[in-house]
Amino acid sequence: MAEQQKKPEQDLNQLLKVRREKLADLQANGKDPFKIVKYDVSHHSQEVKDQFESLEGKTVTVAGRMMSKRVMGKASFCHVQDLQGTIQSYVARDSVGEEPYKDFKKLDVGDLIGIRGEVFKTKTGEISIHAAEVTLLSKSLQVLPEKFHGLTDRDMRYRQRYVDLIMNPEVKDTFIKRSKILSAIRRYLDGQGFMEVETPMLVANAGGASARPFETHFNALDEDFKLRISLELYLKRLIVGGMERVYEIGRVFRNEGLDTRHNPEFTLMELYQAYTDYHGMMDLTENLYRYVAQEVLGTTKIVYNGIEMDLGKPFERITMVDAVKKYSGVDFNEIHTLEEARAAAKEHHVEYEERHKKGDILNLFFEEFAEEHMIQPTFVMDHPIEISPLTKKKPDNPEYVERFEFFMNGWEMANAYSELNDPIDQLERFKAQEELLAQGDEEANTTDDDFMNALMVGMPPTGGIGFGIDRMCMLLTDSAAIRDVLLFPTMKTLDK
What is the pLDDT at residue 468? 94
Contacts of 407 (CB under 8 A, 6+ apart): 371, 374, 377, 378, 379, 380, 413
What is the pLDDT at residue 148? 47
What gap in Å lies between CA 100 and CA 207, rounded to an integer?
A: 63
What gap in Å lies between CA 209 and CA 483, rounded to an integer?
A: 23
Each residue's pLDDT tens digit, 397-441: 999 999 999 999 999 999 999 999 999 999 988 888 888 878 877
| Residues of the chain under the 50 pLDDT cut | 1-4, 148-152
Instruction: To the nearest 10°, report the CA torsion of 351, 355, 361, 365.
Output: -30
Give the DSSP letter string of 128-194.
Answer: EEEEEEEEEEE---SPPPS-GGG-S-THHHHHTHHHHHHH-HHHHHHHHHHHHHHHHHHHHHHHTT-
Each residue's pLDDT tens digit, 358-379: 999 999 999 999 999 999 999 9
What gap in Å lies between CA 300 and CA 232, rounded to an integer?
A: 29
Cα-based angle 11, 17, 21 (whole degrees, multiple of 5): 145
b/e sequence 370-388, b meaning 16+ C-beta within 10 Å: bbeebebbbbbbbbbbbbb
What gap in Å lies between CA 80 and CA 84, rounded to an integer?
A: 11
- Closest to 82 in 3D by CA, of 51, 107, 49: 49
Neighbour tally for 364: CB within 10 Å? 20
What gap in Å lies between CA 173 and CA 189, rounded to an integer?
A: 24
Strand, coil or helix: what is 199?
A: coil
